[in-house]
């Protein structure tokens, strides 16, 4: 089941109306797709036919555009989106192979609820579920959850570390073979196969067990998308996939090497943690056509939207003209620290105007945009993959559906032709398809082979 490292992994990143915040304005865009389940379903089925490893859904529990009133907000195409786990569950019923990964924040959820939901999705999809663990970055979310401010960065990560341990602990509530449903004896499960968590930590108190048998993957795949030091360390300790925004080959190689070293330092096998940056391909029949497409996409950005987006990372710049240079230093960020630091580094080397920055952010929210023919884009992907910058990609479309159809029908076949993308799903579960080892249950995890039942704690209360 192990796959040669020569094969890159690919996910399709579905974001409401597309990765480009103004992509919905494109002539070819279906501007209602954010709200169209059947539209999503068609794209996912195409992606599955092309053997894309997983669909990936970002999330935010708010209209996350600060410093805005309704007039300004109204130009923004990233307003309406389905709650992603609800959407993935529906997509699970009409697909059979493609992985289903979505985002949920440790800052605004309860671990018991989250553990149940992903385990349920893993059951319903027969082993295709994944959780993109985030701690959030926007003030706007906190205002929807009884808070006045975004929780502080260090505390968000402290909670996230405890949260994920509770979740994985709950996923191990029962051994894989605990449920026997013996009609004659009346025994529904073997009591020694149940493990009550009894977690009492700094932030959470959760007794368990989960009211659900262990799911096909045992632990649904965990992705992690924070790139600050605490984010990297959390990822190194618990994640199967590191999702990241990387635009520069050398920085990406540094990030890749750093992540793999942290994984090794955490006592895990570096090949078992996949670093997968986002990438938005802008495909043309010729380089010139691709460049024209990119320019067209940039021209769609309404200045109001640009100013809103830039303020996420750069603070309020509404007093500036779009043609003014971005002033340095950037304000300290309690949100996405890694994005702030990358911009600071870039702008120190080469100043940019407010408009140049917001056009870039608007296009792909911090991810690499590669513009060219199928060949030159595949070259780029292959170069990064083969030079230790990534294990694969999370592909983004500027708008739907044709932005995604483009890379599914043109780019993916080229990668297959080059022998750097698989032609068939390797296994039955997302873990197997990603070349990740199974996660044994508690009984099989114990080194001495001794059943853990002796540690079982009575539930009497």
Q: List phi, psi (to 5°) of 224.
A: -140, 135
Q: Does 92 bind its own copies (CB under 8 A)?
A: yes
User: Considering the rule CB under 8 A, would residue 315 count as an interface residue with its own copies?
Assistant: no
CA distance 103 to 133: 6
- Contacted by 358, from ligand FMN, its own copies, none: CB < 5 to 8 Å by type: none
At CA 225, angle to CA 101 and CA 107, rounded to 5? 90
DSSP bridge partners of 215: 218
Between 38 and 332, name the residue whose CB sits nearer to its own copies.
38
Those residues with Cβ within 8 angstroms of residue 48's Cβ, 6 or more apart along the chain or in another chain:
95, 96, 97, 98
Stretch that binds ligand FMN, among 33-41, 240-248, 309-317, 324-332 (CB under 6 A): 240-248
What is the per-residue binding string for ligand FMN in 83-122, x denoting contact by CB under 6 A? --------------------x-x-----------------
Minimum CB–partner distance for residue 338 and ligand FMN (Å) = 4
CA distance 428 to 129: 12
Cα angle value 335/223/333 (rounded, 5°): 10
Instruction: List binders of its own copies among 118-147 (CB under 8 A).
Output: 119-121, 123-124, 139-140, 143-147
Site string for its own copies, 154-183 (x = CB under 8 A): -------------------------x-x-x
Nearest to 301 by CA among 86, 138, 77: 77
> Length of the chain in residues, anyone?
461
| Cα(405)–Cα(43) distance, integer angstroms | 7
442-447 own/partner pairs: CB under 8 Å, 24+ apart = 442/172, 442/175, 442/195, 443/175, 443/176, 443/193, 444/175, 444/176
What is the C-alpha separation between 106 and 109, in angstroms, rounded? 6
Interaction partner, residue 69 (its own copies, ligand FMN, none; CB < 5-8 Å by kind): its own copies
**Interface pick for ligand FMN out of 131, 243, 358, 384 (rule CB under 6 A):** 243
- In whole angstroms, how close is the CB of 357 to ligand FMN at the nearest point? 17
Q: Which of 2, 4, 71, 332 binds its own copies (CB under 8 A)?
A: 71
CA distance 434 to 204: 32
CA distance 306 to 8: 34
Burial of 4 (C-beta count, 10 Å sphere; 0-12/13-18/19+): exposed
How many beta carbons lie within 10 A of that of residue 437, not counting itself? 13
- Restricted to residues 202-261, the positions that interact with its own copies (CB under 8 A) are 204-209, 211-213
Selection from its own copies, ligand FMN, none that 45 binds (CB < 5 to 8 A by kind) is none
For residues 111 and 203, what is the distance between their CA atoms, to the nearest angstrom? 11
Minimum separation from the CB atom of position 38 to its own copies (A): 10
Kindly tell me which of 58 and 408 has the beta carbon lying closer to ligand FMN. 58
- Using CB under 6 A as the binding rule, whether residue 280 contacts ligand FMN is answered as no
Q: How far is the CB of 208 from ligand FMN (least distance, A)?
A: 18
Select from its own copies, ligand FMN, none the partner in contact with residue 227, using the beta carbon and a kind-dependent cut-off of 5 to 8 Å: ligand FMN
Q: Is 46 in the site for its own copies (CB under 8 A)?
A: no
Q: Which of ligand FMN, its own copies, none does residue 135 bind to, with CB < 5 to 8 Å depending on kind? A: ligand FMN
Site for its own copies in 353-382 (CB under 8 A): none
| CA angle, residues 313, 316, 322, in degrees to nearest 5 | 90
Residue 161 interacting with ligand FMN (CB under 6 A): no
Nearest distance, CB of residue 128 and its own copies, angstroms: 12
Q: Binding its own copies by CB under 8 A: which of 54, 82, 131, 171?
A: 82
Give the interface with ligand FMN as residue ranges (CB under 6 A): 58-60, 103, 105, 134-137, 225-228, 231, 243-245, 278, 336-338
């Amino acid at each position: 089941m192990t796959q040669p490292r020569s094969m890159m992994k690919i996910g399709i990143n579905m974001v409401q109306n597309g990765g480009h915040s103004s992509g919905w304005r494109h002539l070819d865009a279906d501007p209602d797709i954010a709200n169209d389940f059947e539209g999503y379903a068609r794209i996912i089925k195409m992606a599955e036919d092309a053997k894309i490893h997983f669909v990936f859904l970002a999330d935010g529990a708010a209209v996350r555009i600060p410093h805005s009133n309704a007039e300004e907000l109204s130009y923004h195409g990233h307003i309406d989106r389905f709650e992603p786990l609800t959407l993935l569950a529906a997509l699970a019923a009409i697909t059979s192979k493609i992985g289903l990964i979505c985002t949920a924040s440790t800052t605004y959820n309860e671990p018991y609820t989250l553990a149940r939901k992903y385990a349920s999705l893993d059951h319903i999809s027969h082993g295709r579920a994944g959780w993109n663990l985030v701690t959030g970055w926007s003030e706007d979310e906190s205002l929807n959850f009884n808070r006045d401010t975004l929780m502080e960065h260090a505390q968000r990560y402290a909670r996230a570390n405890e949260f994920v341990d509770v979740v994985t602990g709950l996923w191990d509530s029962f051994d894989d073979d605990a449920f026997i449903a013996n009609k004659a004896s009346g025994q529904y499960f073997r009591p020694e196969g149940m493990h009550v968590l009894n977690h009492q930590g700094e932030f959470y108190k959760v007794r368990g067990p989960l009211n659900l048998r262990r799911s096909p993957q045992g632990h649904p795949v965990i992705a992690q998308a924070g790139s600050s030091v605490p984010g990297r360390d959390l990822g190194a300790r618990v994640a199967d996939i590191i999702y990241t925004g990387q635009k520069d080959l050398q920085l990406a190689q540094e990030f890749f090497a750093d992540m793999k070293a942290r994984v090794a330092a955490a006592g895990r096998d570096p090949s078992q943690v996949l670093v997968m940056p986002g990438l938005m391909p802008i495909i043309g029949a010729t380089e010139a056509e691709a460049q024209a497409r990119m320019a067209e996409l940039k021209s769609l950005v309404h200045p109001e939207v640009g100013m809103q987006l830039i303020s996420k990372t750069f603070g309020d710049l509404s007093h500036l003209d779009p043609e003014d240079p971005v002033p340095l230093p950037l304000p300290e960020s309690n949100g996405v620290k890694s994005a702030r630091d990358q911009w600071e580094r870039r702008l120190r080397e080469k100043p940019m105007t407010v408009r140049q920055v917001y056009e870039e952010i608007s296009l792909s929210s911090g991810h690499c945009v590669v513009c060219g023919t199928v060949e030159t884009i595949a070259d780029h992907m292959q170069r990064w993959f083969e030079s230790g910058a990534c294990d694969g990609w999370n592909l983004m479309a500027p708008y739907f559906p044709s932005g995604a159809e483009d890379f599914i029908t043109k780019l993916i076949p080229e990668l297959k032709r080059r022998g750097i993308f698989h032609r068939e799903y390797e296994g039955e579960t997302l873990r197997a398809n990603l070349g990740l080892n199974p996660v044994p249950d508690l009984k099989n995890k114990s080194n001495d082979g001794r059943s853990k039942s002796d540690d079982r704690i009575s539930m009497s209360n």
